[in-house]
Structure 1
């Protein structure tokens, strides 16, 4: 399926230069992420709300490892299935990002227990074509690495190019994202250059077969179960969502998903990201960081009232 060019809104902005594509750049490359502009936050932000746009692409990267892909596609945890309860699963994932990087020790412990309770039910059976277990440290490390890459890509696009301080801060956030559960601290790459080597090595383990690809395609188009717009609007919404998802994917993952990409699509993606970057930089910090800045409060409320955390 290709993105219908006619379905894409014509978006222009005279104020902000379109950002360059960042998804292929290594973590150790700190220069040339995006062009600087006068519309720039006074400091680098925490988790950016616009990062939600990269969520479907990040899910695809995580599930591109067969053990993760089949673990999610075959999951027996009904309440956590992204294909059936995407909003709830998104809340859980975003809360995980917020807790692992900015949560208190009590919040981390409570959320870790809740996630482990769900993960204990995720393991392969004799019928599974791939052997997996949600407590596999190597698979969890891969998921953490994908989350870290997603955070860096989002910051490069929407907050600006990284200096050493910002890059170091995000690298430590990546460590927290990976080690919140069973991943040992020493498993996390020693520095950004080591992460780049790890990432390149792990690309050899990436493979999306027909079963996982069929599972992932509705996620790529942000198709919500039970929510359908009138025909033309649905097609336009899915085409736009697919453009955004594909734009956030490195080419290796586009190929695995069989999602075409060309210079015209890159230009449309860049124009859209340029508009969103301008909106982001002139917005109050509270809006820039929403919903991550309220998820910890929601977690505290769930802990006090005994509601499920995941």
Structure 2
């Protein structure tokens, strides 16, 4: 009897996972990490404990300001592993990121206390990534149905559990998530030090000067459209109704152009960075 129950549970989980993968493959557009990645970082760092955990971090190998392309590889790879990867891939990444997080703790001189293993902070980070995922799906392909949102939320739990968030801490329903999200936004408090760091990311000042001079203004504008109030206001980013209309229209056009493409094309560079992490795992090389 016990084996029969176990088989039923495994079959149900397998069916649910297949449902998640099918929906994610229809909705994921890799271009989003290029035009909305720093916007999501701004949301995550909106909580002072997360913001100072990043700007004060002594883990030089993971700093985007020193290793922008490496950070892009590991962050985008994490998204691919969390949403589409196997259990083995996710646990390997979790182990690797834990090694870095052990070094991220506040000091007596820090303006706020933080610890990268704080599950409430990691839940906020994972929730920001989930919010950004749903926001991109909506902007590019239209609103999700209630059933679709429930499926994406269920898949989104893997964003948290690939870090340190226990499954039972994840949001159980879309309504529960949105209530949490509004409370989380109300807690955003960006001071000048963190704000300066984020504005630098948005302007692409971390890449060679010719690149950020050429693409920085456009990059900031594209990302600003993915940043909700009050975060946008606290960063002092200009935005009006005309900007919003243009941004919405552009996202709909990009979505319409991407939908007919094969998944492996649409998912680039998420799939490529996920593959990179898998190759590094198999070769025994550092994943982060």
CA–CA separation in structure 2 for the residues paired with 1:234 and 1:77: 25
TM-score by length of 1: 0.80
1:236: Cα distance to partner? 5.1
Q: Which has the higher contact order (CA 8 A, sep 6+)?
A: 1
Aligned to 1:308: 286
CA–CA separation in structure 2 for the residues paired with 1:73 and 1:79: 14
SS at structure 2 position matched to 1:127: coil
SS at structure 1 position matched to 2:274: helix
SS at structure 1 position matched to 2:31: helix
| RMSD, matched Cα | 1.9
Aligned to 1:228: 209
Is the helix fraction higher in 1 or 2?
2
CA–CA separation in structure 2 for the residues paired with 1:135 and 1:253: 24
Aligned to 2:3: none
Once the two structures are overlaid, the 10-residue window that deviates more, 79-88 or 271-280, is 271-280
2:31 to 17, 25, 50: 50
User: Is 1:144–1:177's contact at 8 Å kept on the other side of the alignment?
Assistant: yes
Kindly indicate whether residue 256 of structure 2 is the aligned counterpart of residue 278 of structure 1. Answer: yes
Q: Which runs of 5+ in 1 are unaligned?
A: 1-41
Aligned to 1:21: none
Query: What is the CA deviation profile of residues 234-269 of structure 1, one whole-angstrom value per residue up to 9, with x for unaligned ones?
Result: 545211111111111102110111112112222332
Aligned to 1:209: 191
1:142 to 97, 101, 124: 124
User: Is 1:148–1:173's contact at 8 Å kept on the other side of the alignment?
Assistant: no
1:256 to 211, 234, 239: 234
Kindly indicate whether residue 183 of structure 2 is the aligned counterpart of residue 170 of structure 1. Answer: no
Aligned residues between the structures: 265
Q: Which runs of 5+ in 2 are unaligned?
A: 1-22
Kindly indicate whether residue 86 of structure 2 is the aligned counterpart of residue 108 of structure 1. Answer: no
User: Is 2:140–2:253's contact at 8 Å kept on the other side of the alignment?
Assistant: no
Aligned to 2:171: 189
Query: What is the CA deviation profile of residues 124-171 of structure 1, one whole-angstrom value per residue up to 9, with x for unaligned ones?
Result: 111111110100000000001000000001111223331233212210
CA–CA separation in structure 2 for the residues paired with 1:139 and 1:234: 31
Aligned to 2:136: 154
SS at structure 2 position matched to 1:248: coil
SS at structure 2 position matched to 1:49: coil
